[in-house]
Amino acid sequence: MEVGDKSLCDSKVFEQVYKTNATALRNFVYYKCGDIDVAEDIIQDCFMTIWKKCSTIVFKSVKSLLFTMASNAFLNMVKHKKIVLEHQKLNKNINDRTNENPEFLLEEQEFLKKLESAIADLPDNEREVFLLNRIDKKKYREIADLLNISIKTVEKRMSKALKQLRNQIEGI
Amino acid sequence: MENQEFEILLNKFIEGNISSEELNVLENSSEFSTYKKILESSSEFSTPYVDNDKSFNAFMEKTKFNEKEQKPVRKLNRYYLVSGVAASLIFLFGLFQIFNTNETYATDFGEQLAVLLPDSSEVVLNSDSFLEFNKKDWKKNRKLNLKGEAYFKVKKGSKFEVVTSEGSVAVLGTQFNVNQHKNFLEVHCFEGKVRVVRNKEKFILTQGDAVRQIGNAAFESWNFSEVSPTWKNFESSFKNTPLRFVVQSLIKTYGTTVISDNVDLDKRFSGSFPTNDLEIALKTITTSMNLTYDLEEGKKVTLRSKE
- Total Cβ atoms within 10 A of residue A60: 10
pLDDT for B6: 86
- Give pLDDT tens digits for A74-127: 776 655 556 666 655 554 444 455 556 777 777 888 888 888 889 888 888 899
Would you call B52 and A119 a contact, using CB atoms and an 8 Å cutoff?
no
Would you call A52 and B73 a contact, using CB atoms and an 8 Å cutoff?
yes
If we measure between CA atoms, which residue out of B299, B179, B159 comes closest to residue B232? Answer: B179
Residue among B14, B46, B52 whose CB faces A133 most closely:
B14
Residue among B44, B56, B75 whose CB faces A18 most closely:
B56
- Using CA coordinates, name the residue in chain A closest to B7: A159
Any alpha helices (H) in chain B, and if so which ranges?
3-15, 20-28, 32-42, 52-69, 78-99, 243-254, 278-289
Interface test with A, best of B4, B10, B35, B55 (most A CBs within 10 A): B55
pLDDT for B211: 87
Mean pLDDT of B149-165: 83
Residue among B14, B55, B58 whose CB faces A158 most closely:
B14
- Give pLDDT tens digits for A20-76: 899 889 988 888 888 888 889 888 988 988 888 888 888 888 888 888 888 888 776
- Percent of chain B scored above 90 by pLDDT? 0
pLDDT for A94: 47
- Using CA coordinates, name the residue in chain B closest to A89: B44
Would you call B47 and A130 a contact, using CB atoms and an 8 Å cutoff?
no
The larger pLDDT score, comparing residue B200 to residue B249, is at: B249
State the nearest Cα–Cα gap between B101 and chain A, in angstroms: 44
- Using CA coordinates, name the residue in chain A closest to B45: A87
Please state the length of chain B.
307
The larger pLDDT score, comparing residue B102 to residue B15, is at: B15
CA distance B144 to B166: 14
Does residue B39 surpass a pLDDT of 70?
Answer: yes
A vs B: CB pairs below 8 A: 116
Would you call B38 and A115 a contact, using CB atoms and an 8 Å cutoff?
yes
Say if B62 is an interface residue toward chain A (CB within 8 Å): yes
In 3-state terms chain B splits into helix, strand, coil percentages (rounded to 5) of: 35, 35, 30
Mean pLDDT of B179-195: 85
Residue among A19, A54, A86 whose CB faces B56 most closely:
A19
pLDDT for A31: 86
Would you call A86 and B48 a contact, using CB atoms and an 8 Å cutoff?
yes
Mean pLDDT of B105-126: 85
Calculate ∠ Cα B252-B257-B260, nearest 5°: 110
Does residue B44 surpass a pLDDT of 80?
Answer: yes
- Using CA coordinates, name the residue in chain A closest to B67: A52
Would you call B59 and A18 a contact, using CB atoms and an 8 Å cutoff?
yes
- Give pLDDT tens digits for B235-290: 888 888 888 888 888 888 888 888 887 888 888 888 888 888 888 888 888 888 88
CA distance A30 to A42: 10
Q: From residue B35, how far is each of B30, B32, B42, B97, B143 by CA, in Å? A: 10, 5, 10, 86, 101
pLDDT for A2: 42
Does residue B294 surpass a pLDDT of 80?
Answer: yes
pLDDT for A3: 38
Report residue A139's pLDDT band, with 50, 70 and 90 as the boundaries.
Answer: very high
Contacts A28 to B, Cβ<8 Å = none
